[in-house]
Amino acid sequence: MAKELNSKIPAGPVPEKWKEYKAHQRLVNPKNKLKLDVIVVGTGLAGASAAASLGEMGFNVLNFCIQDSPRRAHSIAAQGGINAAKCYQNDGDSVYRLFYDTVKGGDYRAREANVYRLAEVSNNIIDQCVAQGVPFAREYGGMLANRSFGGAQVSRTFYAKGQTGQQLLLGAYSSLSCQVNAGNVKLFTRYEMEDVVIVDGRARGIIAKDLRTGKLERFSANAVVIATGGYGNTYFLSTNAMGCNCTAAVQCYRKGAYFANPSYVQIHPTCIPVHGDKQSKLTLMSESLRNDGRIWVPKKIEDAKKLQKGEMQPWDIAEEDRDYYLERRYPAFGNLVPRDVASRAAKERCDKGFGVNNTGLAVYLDFSESINRLGIDVIMQRYGNLFEMYEEITDVFPGELANEINGVKYYKPMMIFPAVHYTMGGIWVDYELQTTIPGLFAIGECNFSDHGANRLGASALMQGLADGYFVLPYTIQNYLADQTVWPKVSTDLPEFAEAEKKVDAEFDRLLKIQGKRSVDSIHKELGHIMWEYVGMGRTAEGLKTGLKKMHDLEKEFDTNLFVPGSKEGLNIELDKAIHLRDFFTMGQLVAFDALSRNESCGGHFREEYQTEEGEAKRDDENYFYVGCWEYKGKGNEPELIKEPLEYEAIKVQTRNYKN
Ligand SMILES: Cc1cc2nc3c(=O)[nH]c(=O)nc-3n(C[C@H](O)[C@H](O)[C@H](O)COP(=O)(O)OP(=O)(O)OC[C@H]3O[C@@H](n4cnc5c(N)ncnc54)[C@H](O)[C@@H]3O)c2cc1C
């Protein structure tokens, strides 16, 4: 029988506790001269917003990132938008509706109370960002514009062309810079957190490496916040930036922080298909394109075969011979079903032989209907930079007129296929975003908190900024209120020395192997194992095989890795080797979790558990919990601890996007 975990969720979804948090705010009023130190690791949307807010509240913030500027965090990649329940479209949206859609979209595996809080603060985020000058798209009359994203029947997504993440990060960065200028935030760019330091059971600091000099440094603080993003790059090929890694999160896990729901990995349906084995990165085509693009494959298998061989072009296929399979299967939501549903439907068509591209592993995303209806100028205004990005990579411009059949004009479509994109799992946090290690907090994509088994589009930015601007700045004070009587610990303590020694020893170990294989060649192999056995469709047998293969490959990593250079100065290969060490731990954790969850829900699809129509089959009787994992040492199976889910406001039911 697994242990049970108490998440400290207040009764009911409405967080009454907020009033208490406001009272604590007085403790850190700058006038009180109580300067407590907080380390924030990460400058993505979650980290930058948290560091800026904590600085403004009068804390001394030490803010770390691996890039040369906070503005280069992976968050700038976000294209499509950010959700909020403003109801500017007057289409019936509300805080409750956003809350409901998010819980349903997460296949009823999210914590109800957290999601309600997220929906509540969503509108404040938009106000905050507008005040910072974020140039959201506007209607002709000046109102902020909205578009639709998957899993919702209202338009609630605020956007800045296809660069929403970049514009939001510029806003957060301007606030952060203001606090740097005020002396409240000190930035440590090109620094990588290598370990968290625990003193008397509390997080008291970190060991970080100056990536330029290779030197290890010790930092102490009253609390540590990690905002280091997701673990999608475990799969090698993903839409994540190349630098995304899970080293900080995995080190926290090794030091005793529980890791929750690792098997919930989001596979995004609209990415540019893999085009060869030399590729190191996949490119997302934003979900916003599904507002105006229609997804299809040929109805006839012989057409699919001809398309695969290049004997036919998509624009040669007339309307009646196209299968708009999402519109056919899910008439109520059509092309805007959630990502897990759309990805599985694409896989189903390709598995049955209807896929296109020379590999048979792609479907079309076609704008012909919307260009005919709205004109190319309107479509370019909405998605111009995405069309250009697609053309740059594939040499096909999706808005180019290609054929006319029976008076209908057909434009060149995009080809897309599902790819690893986002990780719903992450470091377990309670309602106050504190991990199982007191004093250690986790925010943004690196925690597990709000998306259940599947995240709806445009809600990662919402969660990251909710955590950073509106949740953590309040909740962390419940912890810090007691810290006013604690002196900041010295970095000369043996705990710091010990942690630094271990990190250093790891560098030596990896450098000394002097084997024959590069980091990337092993990482690529790990990615293949993950995609094949722990990817879109999983089985108990496949997961066991995947675990065995990962175990063997990890041995290869430990004995046959080649890292050139030394630990002094810049050594990117050494940094990558450390990341890969942690992707191994992560990959196995994903597989253990997937193996333990004998049901299908959201991004976790166990082929043994599906309905006759191929939909995910949940088992609420046995798996209605957050699966938390405790580290038990390298090579050992981690221990599962269950946090039971409690729903009061929403009735748990089978997800339905058909009617
Ligand atoms: C192509 C793409 C498009 C997307 N579009 C959208 C969208 O339209 N809407 C939406 O809501 N979501 C979108 N997402 C998801 C969203 O962008 C991310 O989930 C979100 O930006 C994550 O923010 P974060 O602050 O948690 O982490 P990140 O932005 O990943 O930032 C992580 C930070 O941690 C730092 N870091 C990492 N490890 C260490 C370490 N060991 N030491 C020191 N620093 C470290 C990095 O330097 C960085 O500053 C998209 C994702 C992708 C890949």
Higher pLDDT: 417 or 17? It is 417
Q: For the whole model, what pTM was predicted?
A: 0.93
- Note the pLDDT of residue 3: 57
Q: Give the helix ranges, DSSP H, for 333-442.
A: 339-351, 368-374, 376-394
Chain segment 379-413, per-residue pLDDT in tens? 998 889 899 999 999 999 998 999 999 899 999 99
Q: 256 to each of 198, 250, 259, 478, 630, how far by Cα in Å?
A: 10, 10, 9, 21, 7
Chain segment 100-109, per-residue pLDDT in tens? 999 999 999 9
Where does the pLDDT of residue 287 fall: very low under 50, low under 70, confident under 90, or very high at 90 and above? Answer: confident
- Note the pLDDT of residue 279: 86
For residue 557, give the nearest of 586, 522, 506 by alpha carbon. Answer: 522
Our CA angle for 642, 646, 648, nearest 5°, is 175
- Note the pLDDT of residue 277: 82
Contact 111, 449 (CB under 8 A): yes
According to DSSP, residue 138 is labeled: B
- Note the pLDDT of residue 659: 76
Pocket lining: 313 vs ligand 1, CB cutoff 6 Å: no
First-to-last C-alpha distance (Å) of the chain: 40
Q: 437 to each of 204, 223, 271, 448, 479, how far by Cα in Å?
A: 10, 11, 37, 15, 12
Count of residues in the chain: 659
Measured in degrees and rounded to the nearest 5, phi and psi for residue 606 equal -95, 120
Contacts of 607 (CB under 8 A, 6+ apart): 537, 538, 539
Chain segment 535-590, per-residue pLDDT in tens? 999 999 999 999 999 999 999 999 999 999 999 999 999 999 999 999 999 999 99
CA-CA distance, 471 to 477, in Å (whole number)?
10
Name the closest-CA residue to atom 9, ligand 1: 458
Question: Does residue 233 have a pLDDT over 70?
Answer: yes
Pocket lining: 162 vs ligand 1, CB cutoff 6 Å: no
Is there a catalytic annotation at residue 339? yes
Tokens standing for residue 21: 């948090």
Q: 430 to each of 252, 603, 636, how far by Cα in Å?
A: 15, 22, 26
Pocket lining: 76 vs ligand 1, CB cutoff 6 Å: no
Pocket lining: 232 vs ligand 1, CB cutoff 6 Å: no
Where does the pLDDT of residue 5 fall: very low under 50, low under 70, confident under 90, or very high at 90 and above? Answer: low
Region 136-165: mean pLDDT is: 92
Question: Does residue 23 have a pLDDT over 80?
Answer: no
Name the closest-CA residue to atom 20, ligand 1: 75
Question: Does residue 17 have a pLDDT over 60?
Answer: no
Contact 386, 164 (CB under 8 A): no
Mean predicted lDDT score pLDDT of the chain:
93
Question: Does residue 280 have a pLDDT over 60?
Answer: yes
Which SS3 state, helix, strand or coil, does residue 165 take? helix
Measured in degrees and rounded to the nearest 5, phi and psi for residue 421 equal -135, -45
Atom of ligand 1 nearest to the CA of 461: 11
According to DSSP, residue 490 is labeled: P
HSE-up of 314 (CA within 13 Å, CB side)? Answer: 28
Out of 39, 66, 169, mutate this one to test ligand 1's pocket (max ligand atoms within 8 Å of CB): namely: 66
Atom of ligand 1 nearest to the CA of 230: 30
Question: Does residue 31 have a pLDDT over 70?
Answer: no
Name the closest-CA residue to atom 50, ligand 1: 78
Pocket lining: 165 vs ligand 1, CB cutoff 6 Å: yes
Region 99-128: mean pLDDT is: 96
CA-CA distance, 586 to 229, in Å (whole number)?
14
Question: Does residue 126 have a pLDDT over 90?
Answer: yes
Amino acid letter, residue 189: T
